Amino acid sequence: MRKEGRRIEGLEPRSGATADGMPLSVNRAPATDLAPWIGRVAVTRIHAARDHEVTCSVFNDLAYARVLLAGEWIAETPAGPMKLTGEPLLVGPQARAMKLWCRGPITTVNIGLRPGALDCLLKRQAAALVNRMERADPFALVGDGAGFGYPESASIEELVEIAESRMRSFIERTNPKQPDPVSTAFEAASFLDPNISPGDFAEEQDISLRQVERIVRRDFGMTPRTVLRRARAMDLACQMLGISDSEEEQDFLLRFFDQSHLIREFQHFFGVTPQALRSQPRPLLTLNLETRAARRLEELARIAPGMRQPWRRKEGSDVEEEEEEAPIKGGGQAGQPADQRSKARNWWRAT
């Protein structure tokens, strides 16, 4: 798999791309009436020859209801390899990156479930699905007709609206409760400052640490500290892949005690060193993590919902063209001491 800059030969993005050509999904916040349970709606379309192969990985912070419309897939799950093609899936949140292989063109429809939504919608504990996939369609996202009712001729926004409509039908039929506000607040805290201690968060919420641990384990499927460590590693990976606000680079680096801590944590979650991650294109991981990066900026009110993210190529522009970025509110660490900024730059070069 050869790359030109970061553009990958053989992959033609049809649902968006970074400024230098890496494929992305079209992803946005859900309709307002779905927002209590749904964190993101995304559609990916990438044109490729039927024999074109991509070996990469995927790393979801949310559980996803996913419909595979094109592509032959193999996922390396804890239970062994899963061969997938043309089918619906329920994909759990991940504690570590999962290897993923795909052949041919790619089309997927994805509904990201907020922490706690699995319990509210399906009476399922998140822990039972961590790092796992199930061949299932619990929300009836699959419809009748060719392409599971997602016409090949439909625009990407039309596919998003079809998925939202089917999800809305499920919610109206079942009338579920909404996720625990403590889980919602904990996710927001992980976006804002993943170095916050669970004890400090508990104090802010005026509840006990044991309550925080119980609620987070139930709704995220892992301990509070693991959720925060994962968020820290994901933010750094987004920076390395060019899908974050460049002004946050130093802040992301200085969340780690030192260079060895950074490398150790990164290897734990991604299975490779930072240098190895940057050494080759990561198309599936990039579009996967970009969905989280876009959601993070919107939920922190750093950009308005629907605004083009600063790393995205302007529609209709060439990948080499300079483009105006979306304004970012409150980003970066301009007030950092010079020695801290220098330390961050040195870590970045060394890793």
Is the pLDDT confidence value at 337 over 70? no
d(CA 109, CA 163): 7
Tokens 């680079």 identify what position? 249
Percent of the chain exceeding pLDDT 70 equals 87
Check residues 130 and 325 and name the one with the higher pLDDT: 130
Boundaries of domain holding 169: 3-350
Report the pLDDT averaged over residues 287-296. 96
pLDDT of 242: 92
pLDDT of 254: 86
φ/ψ of 265, rounded to 5, equals -65, -40
Say if residues 22 and 283 touch (Cβ distance below 8 Å): yes
Q: Which range has the worst mean pLDDT, 31-35, 100-104, 114-118, 332-336? A: 332-336
- Prediction pTM value: 0.88
d(CA 133, CA 117): 17
pLDDT of 273: 94
Report the pLDDT averaged over residues 133-162. 94
Q: Predicted confidence band at 6 (pLDDT cuts at 50, 70, 90)?
A: low
pLDDT of 181: 97
pLDDT of 249: 83
Domain count for the chain, please give it: 1
User: How buried is residue 32: exposed, middle or buried, by Cβ count under 10 Å (0-12/13-18/19+)?
Assistant: exposed
